[in-house]
A = this chain, B = another copy of it.
Amino acid sequence: MIPKSEIKYIQTLFQKKFRDAEGCYLIEGPKILDEALTAAQTAVKKIFGLSEWIDQHEFRYPDIEMNVVSSFELEKISQLKTPNQVIALMAKPERSGIVSPQQDIVLALDGIQDPGNLGTIVRIADWFGIPQVVCSKDCADVYGGKVVQAAMGSIFRVPVCYEDLPVWIVRQKRTPVYGAVLDGTPLKQVKHVTSGVLVIGNESKGIRPEVAALLTEKITIEKTGGAESLNAAVATGILLAYLK
């Protein structure tokens, strides 16, 4: 049993403005919680789980507050159609002033608004060991339920921050600044690199003009068939696999 006020508090965190105000977010399900307990244990503030889950875990983590909830309560605090055993309240990490090594590729996302795409991109960044993902302020919130679900444990490993993208690109002085566009140099003619920025644009509008003006190399994934576009996450994967 948890008090109604706690249920209400958790439900407020479904919304970005409350996540921002509280510096907290939610994760759901045993798999991602296991990853959190491994990769970001100090960020786990409270756990709400069915008794089966709590019974198996509480003795291993005596310092974390664990609350047994009923299926009915779990449903109330879940954002999933089918709630999955356990939900944790997480503290957001401090991401301002991240400085990543110059000798690496940093990913910059310009207006990625689909939560599933953003989460998948964070997972791809994790796969390729990208040290930092910089989002424009109109990207989806990386701590939203659907993004966290799609990113899986990668959310704990890849630092994601939000910046005024044109300002950040100028300030960080990293080159080259690659961008995925429809009329650039074919990918296979681009040299492999070890450092720089890769900009991925919005799913339908692409990279906005203020950012496009700062690109030093425009890259195109050549199309030989009929599809109008590639999914933004798929394009990110193709470009990182090639450049890295």
Q: Contacts A221-B241, A233-B231 given: A226-B154 contact, CB under 8 Å?
A: yes
- Could you tell me the distance between the alpha carbons of A227 and B124 in the complex, rounded to whole angstroms? 8
Which residues of chain B come closer than 8 Å to A225, judged between CB atoms?
Answer: 125-130, 157-158
Assess the B157–A126 pair: CB atoms within 8 A: no
Which residues of chain B come closer than 8 Å to A123, judged between CB atoms?
Answer: 227, 230-231
Assess the A128–B224 pair: CB atoms within 8 A: yes
- A192: nearest chain-B partner, CB-CB: B188
Looking at A127, A154, A224, which has the most chain B CB atoms within 10 Å of its CB?
A127
Shortest CB-to-CB span from A102 to chain B, Å, is 17
A242 contacts the other chain (CB 8 A) = yes
Shortest CB-to-CB span from A205 to chain B, Å, is 15
A223 contacts the other chain (CB 8 A) = yes
Looking at A128, A187, A241, which has the most chain B CB atoms within 10 Å of its CB?
A241
Assess the A157–B234 pair: CB atoms within 8 A: no
Q: Contacts A224-B244, A241-B241 given: A231-B153 contact, CB under 8 Å?
A: no
Which residues of chain B come closer than 8 Å to A154, judged between CB atoms?
Answer: 226-227
A190 contacts the other chain (CB 8 A) = no
A199 contacts the other chain (CB 8 A) = no
A238 contacts the other chain (CB 8 A) = yes
Neighbour of A241 across the interface among B126, B231, B242, CB < 8 A: B242
Which residues of chain B come closer than 8 Å to A233, judged between CB atoms?
Answer: 231, 233-234
- A151: nearest chain-B partner, CB-CB: B227
- A236: nearest chain-B partner, CB-CB: B234
Which residues of chain B come closer than 8 Å to A196, judged between CB atoms?
Answer: none
Assess the A227–B152 pair: CB atoms within 8 A: yes
- Could you tell me the distance between the alpha carbons of A149 and B162 in the complex, rounded to whole angstroms? 30
Which residues of chain B come closer than 8 Å to A30, judged between CB atoms?
Answer: none
Q: Contacts A129-B225, A152-B227, A225-B157 given: A241-B124 contact, CB under 8 Å?
A: no
Which residues of chain B come closer than 8 Å to A206, judged between CB atoms?
Answer: none
Ranked 7 nearest A-B pairs via Cβ: A129-B225, A129-B224, A126-B227, A234-B237, A127-B227, A238-B241, A157-B226
- Could you name 10 residue pairs across A and B whose Cβ atoms are closer than 8 Å? A39-B226, A120-B231, A128-B223, A129-B225, A153-B228, A157-B226, A233-B233, A235-B237, A237-B238, A242-B242
